Amino acid sequence: MTYTLDLKQLERKAWKSVHQDGLLDIFCGLVLLQVGVSLWIQHGAGYWTLVFGIAFNLLAVAGLIAGKKLITVPRMGRVEFGQIRKAKSLKLTILLSLAVLLGMALIMLSLTDVVQLPGWAVPAALIAANMLFVFGMLGYFLDYPRLYIYGLLYAAAFPSWVVLIELADIRFPVVSVLSAAVMVLLGCKGLFQFTSRYPVPSTEAAANGNH
């Protein structure tokens, strides 16, 4: 058996250790839940659906940031990654911003009836492609393969809702809510394991060692 000190894997291990807290899974689940609820209440709600969506997502982002600050950092410690990770994060931010802007533009256009998209198949395919792109990027840049599966679940949310209405007149977004529940549960499990494995050390010791 050979043992080699693989620095790339070591950096990856350090990176992953910061993201094993389950918070991202809970965040993804809550956002998908919002998508499901928005689909459910959108009839007659118009712009309020959009306002609800934006407000909920902003709260979810604030919750994720607060969770990292109050749960992850006090337990795992603080680390600054090198230039390669910083460049990756910048690329991810740019790509995600473009995808979110595109998605928002699509929703706005569909709400204002500026663009009449034929049937439901084209918008569903566009939204699904956008979701696959966003989660594909997230999974790749964050080194978090589970996000590829989440991307599929997000991509299936809108088409499955429409199909269920067309075929069985079921308006409740079953697929989105069930997928969201799975993500939140996986996240809670991860969070529980993380907090059990890494209790908060005494503040002074954690901050300074005995240095």
Instruction: Please report, as ranges, the residues that interact with other proteins according to CB under 8 A.
Output: 5, 7, 10-11, 13-14, 17, 76-83, 198, 201, 203, 205-211
Residue 21 and residue 191 in contact, taking contact as beta carbons nearer than 8 Å: yes
Taking the complex as a whole, the smallest distance from the CB of residue 74 to other proteins amounts, in Å, to 8
Q: Which two tokens stand for residue 117?
A: 């998209």
Distance CA 164, CA 39 (A): 12
Pick the closer one to other proteins by CB: 116 or 208: 208
Pick the closer one to other proteins by CB: 76 or 127: 76
Distance CA 136, CA 2 (A): 34
Pick the closer one to other proteins by CB: 11 or 143: 11
Pick the closer one to other proteins by CB: 116 or 196: 196
| Residue listed under structure tokens 């993804």 | 28
Distance CA 181, CA 184 (A): 5
Taking the complex as a whole, the smallest distance from the CB of residue 28 to other proteins amounts, in Å, to 25
Pick the closer one to other proteins by CB: 196 or 210: 210
Taking the complex as a whole, the smallest distance from the CB of residue 176 to other proteins amounts, in Å, to 36
Q: Which two tokens stand for residue 190?
A: 């991860």
Taking the complex as a whole, the smallest distance from the CB of residue 48 to other proteins amounts, in Å, to 39
Taking the complex as a whole, the smallest distance from the CB of residue 68 to other proteins amounts, in Å, to 14
Residues 6+ apart with CB under 8 A from 57: 31, 34
Distance CA 164, CA 170 (A): 5
